[in-house]
Amino acid sequence: ALAGCGADTGTAVDASDASPITMGFSQVGAESEWRVANTRSVQEAAAAAGIELVFSDAQQDQDRQIEAIRSFIAKGVDVIAFSPVVETGWDPVLREARRAGIPVILTDRAIRTADPGLYRTFLGSDFLEEGNKAGTWLDDRHIRAEEPVSIVEIQGTVGSAPAIERQLAFAEAISSNPQLKIVASTSGDFTRAGGRAVMEDFLADLPDIDVLYAHNDDMGLGAIEAIEAAGKVPGRDIEIISVDGVREGLQALIDGKINYIVECNPLIGEQLMELAVKIVAGEQVLSRVVTKETVFERSAALAALPDRRY
């Protein structure tokens, strides 16, 4: 229910009146297949729950997100949800939301703040767990390596929670194996074009790359184009690990071009709407809700692909 659209003063308004909840949702952008699936999930779940969604796309720009949140506050939405493009810099606008009495839900990505009272809950994946799964798999695979294994990393958006945590936990997981060495690490901004461009540079600069760790499938798929253009065989000459598990990623795994994918689930719309309904009703919710996820090797990808919705 938007403020100002209600009844005239003097008209009795039933407090239990079923006017729909309005949610302002600020999305990061449309940088990856994961994101596109996430947007669809949020839009479909809102419609199914009878929640009015005011949707805004920030095109990977923090200032645009801040502007969107301000516009939601000005409209007087019932609840604000957003997926913060980067971790820091949100306190002032979230204080404005709090002053206006509008609850905030973080979805997909977390923020860094000294004031946890600026949002009600954070619904999303555990990116440290994802980085750890990627690194542990690689460590196991090269547990008896007698020669150095050169790893290149293509990071997600600089300053974003998934890029920071996927990098950190991966590095930690491989740190006990002295043969595993990250020789280069650059951001490809979570896009396919970014992944391709970064990989082209790596291939031009570094003669012997053994492993690529890409922070999402799109960048891994872009890198595969660069590897093939350089006359190398992805998945064989260069082992590839990525994160997400979108259809094209799983297909590349089935085709042997990617070796391992750590799943990150974008279909969190329904859980988001459930949380929003509870919060608007004044109920308590958990301050952290973690998404359930798995990992894929080839056989698991073959089994999962037919039913994959994104």
Which residue number, 252 or 277, has a Cβ lying nearer to ligand GYE?
252
The helix-helix angle for 127-141 and 161-174 (nearest 10°) equals 30
| Angstrom distance (rounded) from CA 299 to CA 302 | 5
Shortest distance (Å) from residue 37 CB to ligand GYE: 9
Shortest distance (Å) from residue 264 CB to ligand GYE: 5
Shortest distance (Å) from residue 28 CB to ligand GYE: 7
Inter-CA distances, 5 with 2, 22, 54, 65, 214, Å = 6, 12, 15, 25, 48
Which residue number, 243 or 275, has a Cβ lying nearer to ligand GYE?
243
In 3D space, the residue among 163, 111, 161 whose CA is nearest the CA of residue 287 turns out to be 111
Place of tokens 């009146």: 17
Apex 106 CA angle, 102 and 107, nearest 5 = 130
| Angstrom distance (rounded) from CA 253 to CA 256 | 5
Which residue number, 103 or 188, has a Cβ lying nearer to ligand GYE?
188
Shortest distance (Å) from residue 228 CB to ligand GYE: 21
Which residue number, 73 or 106, has a Cβ lying nearer to ligand GYE?
106
Which residue number, 25 or 34, has a Cβ lying nearer to ligand GYE?
34
The binding site for ligand GYE (CB under 6 A) comprises: 31-32, 34-35, 108-109, 125, 162, 190, 216, 243-244, 264
Shortest distance (Å) from residue 191 CB to ligand GYE: 8
In 3D space, the residue among 73, 110, 70, 85 whose CA is nearest the CA of residue 29 turns out to be 85
| CB of 125 closer than 8 Å to CB of 265 | yes
* Contact partners, residue 100, CB within 8 Å, separation at least 6: 73, 76
Which residue number, 266 or 277, has a Cβ lying nearer to ligand GYE?
266
Shortest distance (Å) from residue 154 CB to ligand GYE: 12
